[in-house]
Amino acid sequence: MASQNCNNAQNDIGLTIEEKQWLSNNNTIKLAFDPELPPLIFLNEDNEIEGITGDYLNLIAKKLNVKFEWIGNKTLEEGFEAIKN
């Protein structure tokens, strides 16, 4: 019981009830980014996000129990246009 409470405390990052509900309803978050900015962010041969940003996104995804998914934009401008809609 004590270790369960400890784990819950570690996973609590201070989200509001509304934020937790939104994440629960939107467990895949779509991303647009410039796919050619190594070492910050780039795609591997399996179109998975890698680089420094990819490492952070993986940590955030685990903490929030979500998945980040690239929308497939070729340029940053194309990505901005896609997320406007």
CATH code: domain of residue 45: 3.40.190.10
How many whole angstroms separate alpha carbon 41 and alpha carbon 57? 10
Residue 3 is assigned to a structural domain of this protein = no
Whether 1 maps to a domain, the answer reads no
Number of structural domains, the chain?
1
pLDDT over 60 at 69, yes or no: yes
**What local confidence, expressed as pLDDT, does residue 35 receive?**
75
Q: Encoding tokens for residue 76? A: 């940053």
As a whole-number percent, the residues of the chain with pLDDT over 70 amount to 86
In a domain, 50, yes or no: yes
26 domain residue, yes or no: yes
pTM attached to this predicted model? 0.74
Domain of 23 in residue numbering reads as: 15-84
The answer to the question of residue 19 being in a domain is yes
Residue 7 lies in a domain: no
Confirm whether 35 is domain-assigned: yes
Can you give the pLDDT at residue 9?
47
Q: In what order do the strands lie in the sheet with 49-50?
A: 36-37, 41-43, 49-50
* Tens of pLDDT, residues 2-24: 434 334 444 678 999 999 999 99
- Other CB atoms within a 10 A radius of the CB of residue 49 amount to 21
For residue 6, being part of any structural domain is answered with no
Q: Measured between alpha carbons, how far is 78 from 46 in angstroms, rounded to an integer?
A: 21
For residue 35, the SS3 value is coil
